[in-house]
Amino acid sequence: MVFMFPILLASLRAIGVAVTVIVAGILATRFKVLTPPEHSCMSKLSMKVAMPALVFSRILYCNQCADRADCPRCAPFSEIIRSSWILFLLPLVVVGLGTSLGRAVAAVAEVPSDFRRGTICAVAFGNSTGMPVVLLTVVSQSMTAFGNGPIGHTDPLLHLPAYLMLYPVLQWGIGTWLLAPTADEEITLTIPPPCKGTLPRLCGAEEGFYYMGPARQALEHALVPPVLAALAGLLVALSPCRGILVDLAGQANDAPLEWLYDGIYKLGDAAVPLNLLILGSSLSQGADFEALPLRVGMAITVCKMVVMPLLMSLIVYGLIRLVDGKDPAMWLVALIVTCTPTANNVGIMAHLGGQKVESMATAIFIQYVFAPVLIAMSLTYFMWLLSSEWYLPASSV
């Protein structure tokens, strides 16, 4: 268990990166550099530009490292799906389990009625990009340095894109649908001018809220920009167009439209710090325990960062026995995506849906307070499981 200390450092490093940017958002708001109108503008910029760029570019990603002797090969997208197909489907399990646990928390913890849907999303949708990338990178490096862990012989980041194919579609589709205001709530948000024409809808609101029937409304809530970007990324990745945007053969960064992909990738890089700045702005007044009672925040934290990883470890135990001959690094990815705090962009969805941003920000704040300890415990637990032959038989390594 000599590698447990580096795992603790990995979790602290990941939290430290996030907290640094969050504090910058807090200070910017306190000194009125980031005002409410700018906060709203940044939220829309994140959802309509940065997050779609992040999702699209990460699906197509191929390491451009031709100058390195140990450069990993860029596998065709069909091969990625074949080798990590269980991770492609895993978001259905993770989101389904999280939604069920969120509903349980909403019922047991007597969550205020105006945050029950927010509670479900807070438990169901964890940070799946920035923090897992940092954790997987540092854990992999630590295992390689010590040379005695089951993850040291392969890079778990090669498996993460398989999980990120479907997850954004579920997160932004289901999450936006859950957090979007109902027809009654939409009417109270603004006073719309009279409608023209004969369509049975509420129209003309400045924010663009209107009602055109349940099916049309559900479709509009689901097909938000990040979801459309994920679907576009899947189509491009499965077609020859991927090789035009990304150099798959030589990995020398000289594909015909590599410059276009690099630009989209840079826009995607802005998503995580942008969301953390917005989260910091929301937390600038501190935790609001009037908006979200402490018991509810603690229930969300325990359910999201303790109960969910434990239950997923049992599910993965069963999956290992159904899917033989897979890289143990893949199972680390399957476990690690369940122990992170609520995704920062859930706060963006809550803001754009007219929900109580203070409640969501407080829920995320409480999770980050306990994250260093809880994530370190989860990572230690995961590595112990993957090091145990009763959990991961030698035949599966």
pLDDT-derived band at 312 (thresholds 50, 70, 90) equals very high
Instruction: Find the mean pLDDT for residues 311-319.
Output: 94
Better-predicted residue by pLDDT, 53 or 222: 53
CB contact at 8 A, 172 and 224? yes
pLDDT at 355: 66
**CA angle at residue 7 from 81 to 301, to 5 degrees?**
80
Question: Which stretch of 107-116, 134-143, 226-235, 311-320 has the lowest confidence by average pLDDT?
Answer: 134-143
pLDDT at 120: 92
- What burial class does residue 113 get, using C-beta atoms within 10 Å of its C-beta: 0-12 exposed, 13-18 middle, 19+ buried? exposed
Distance CA 160, CA 84 (A): 9
Q: Which residues pair with 342 in a beta bridge?
A: 126
**CA angle at residue 142 from 136 to 146, to 5 degrees?**
145
Flag whether pLDDT at 51 surpasses 50. Answer: yes
Q: Which two tokens stand for residue 392?
A: 């991961």
Number of folded domains in the chain?
A: 1
Buried b (16+ CB within 10 A) or exposed e, 62-95: bebeeeeeeeeebbebeebbebbebbbebbebbb
Tally the residues of the chain.
397
For residue 350, give its domain range: 4-396
Residue 166 in 3-state DSSP? helix
Positive or negative CA dihedral for 243, 245, 65, 165? negative
Instruction: Find the mean pLDDT for residues 24-40.
Output: 88
**Dihedral angle, C-alpha 257, 263, 267, 270, nearest 10 °:** 130
Specify the residue for token string 């939409």. 186
pLDDT at 260: 94
What is the three-state SS of 216-272? HHHHHHHCCHHHHHHHHHHHHHCCCHHHHHCCCCCCCCCCCCHHHHHHHHHHHHCHH
Instruction: Find the mean pLDDT for residues 167-185.
Output: 74
**CA angle at residue 174 from 172 to 178, to 5 degrees?**
110
pLDDT at 142: 61
pLDDT-derived band at 296 (thresholds 50, 70, 90) equals very high
Q: Which two tokens stand for residue 143?
A: 């295992």
Question: Which stretch of 72-76, 216-220, 224-228 has the lowest confidence by average pLDDT?
Answer: 216-220
- What burial class does residue 390 get, using C-beta atoms within 10 Å of its C-beta: 0-12 exposed, 13-18 middle, 19+ buried? exposed
Flag whether pLDDT at 240 surpasses 60. Answer: yes
Helix, strand, coil shares of the chain, percent, nearest 5, are 70, 0, 30
Instruction: Find the mean pLDDT for residues 321-334.
Output: 80
Instruction: Find the mean pLDDT for residues 77-84.
Output: 76
Flag whether pLDDT at 25 surpasses 50. Answer: yes
Flag whether pLDDT at 206 surpasses 50. Answer: no
pLDDT at 138: 63
Better-predicted residue by pLDDT, 78 or 199: 78
Q: What average pLDDT does the chain have?
A: 78
* Long-range pairs for 82-88: beta carbons < 8 A, 24 or more residues apart: 83/162, 83/326, 83/327, 84/159, 84/162, 84/163, 84/330, 85/162, 86/319, 86/323, 86/326, 86/330, 86/334, 87/159, 87/162, 87/163, 87/330, 87/333, 87/334, 88/162, 88/163, 88/165, 88/166
Flag whether pLDDT at 221 surpasses 70. Answer: no
CB contact at 8 A, 167 and 96? no
The domain spanning residue 288 has which CATH number?
1.20.1530.20
Q: In this prediction, what percent of the chain has a pLDDT beyond 90?
A: 19
Question: Which stretch of 73-87, 129-143, 167-181, 194-208 has the lowest confidence by average pLDDT?
Answer: 194-208
Instruction: Find the mean pLDDT for residues 135-160.
Output: 60
DSSP, residue by residue, 261-322:
HHHHHHHHHTHHHHHHHHHHHHTTT---TTTS-HHHHHHHHHIIIIIHHHHHHHHHHHHHHH
Buried b (16+ CB within 10 A) or exposed e, 158-174: bbbbbbbbbbbbbbbbb
The DSSP 8-state label assigned to residue 339 in this structure reads S
